[in-house]
Amino acid sequence: MPSDMKERIAREFIRLARAGSIDRITVKDIVEACHITRQTFYYHFRDLLDVIDWSLRRTVEELAEKCLQLDSRQQVMELFLTEAVQAKDLIRRLLDSQLREQTERLLVEAVRAWFQEMADRRELLEDVSRADAQVALDFYSYAVVGILLEYCGRPRLDVKRLAGQLTRLMDGSFQKELED
């Protein structure tokens, strides 16, 4: 079962990443922890970056399925942000490693895939030209990754409020909010 083995390798990488320096994790560490051969690792993945990429894509697919069960964009954004906050320590470790540039690129690609999935399934960009849709997806992907990197590490992040702000911004209804 290749998918199960990929999942096992990815889980072990994440466990090792949470326990120590990502820059010190080697294929040998994962192979030993999973009790598999190097050949098995390389059958499933090209390198450690490929493990990260596969893990992000898998997470995005699972998140998209959960989001499609929700009724409002606000709820979707809240779930997305909640998941990002839960993964913030791992994301921070990846960004603090030598893999920062690749991690940022993979994060943008993963968020873009999530936006694309949401747009396709909910038919959000049907009335927009293909070129405009691509620019919109790029814009929102880079913007949301930037917001995630800036806000998700904050100790008292109000996910519900930030989700509302992002939703209103994306809907074009971002206006001055009167505070009580």
The CA-atom distances, in angstroms, between 168 and each of 74, 83, 109, 174 are 9, 20, 23, 5
Please report the pLDDT score of residue 95 as a whole number. Answer: 85
For the cut 80, the answer to whether the pLDDT of residue 131 exceeds it is yes
Token output for 24: 């010190």
Amino acid at 96: D
Kindly provide the b/e burial profile for residues 18-53, where b requires at least 16 CB atoms within 10 angstroms of the residue's own CB: eeeebeebebeebbebbebeeebbeebbeebeebbb
User: In sequence order, which residues have a C-beta less than 8 Å from that of residue 164 and are 6 or more positions away?
Assistant: 74, 77
pLDDT band at 176 (very low <50, low <70, confident <90, very high): low
- How confident is the prediction for the chain on average, in pLDDT? 87
Percent of the chain predicted with pLDDT > 70? 94
Strands (E), the chain: none
pTM of the model: 0.77
Q: Which residue has the higher pLDDT, 27 or 124?
A: 27
Backbone angles phi, psi at 163, to 5 degrees: -60, -40
Please report the pLDDT score of residue 1 as a whole number. Answer: 45
Token pair 């096992």: residue: 8
For the cut 70, the answer to whether the pLDDT of residue 3 exceeds it is no
Please report the pLDDT score of residue 33 as a whole number. Answer: 95
Q: What is the pLDDT of residues 35-90, one digit of tens each?
A: 999 999 999 999 999 999 899 888 888 888 888 888 888 898 899 889 888 888 88
Q: What is the pLDDT of residues 89-121, one digit of tens each?
A: 888 888 888 988 988 888 898 889 888 887 887
Torsional class of 172: left (φ above 0), alpha (ψ -120 to 50), beta (otherwise): left
For residues 108 and 142, is the Cβ–Cβ distance under 8 A?
Answer: yes
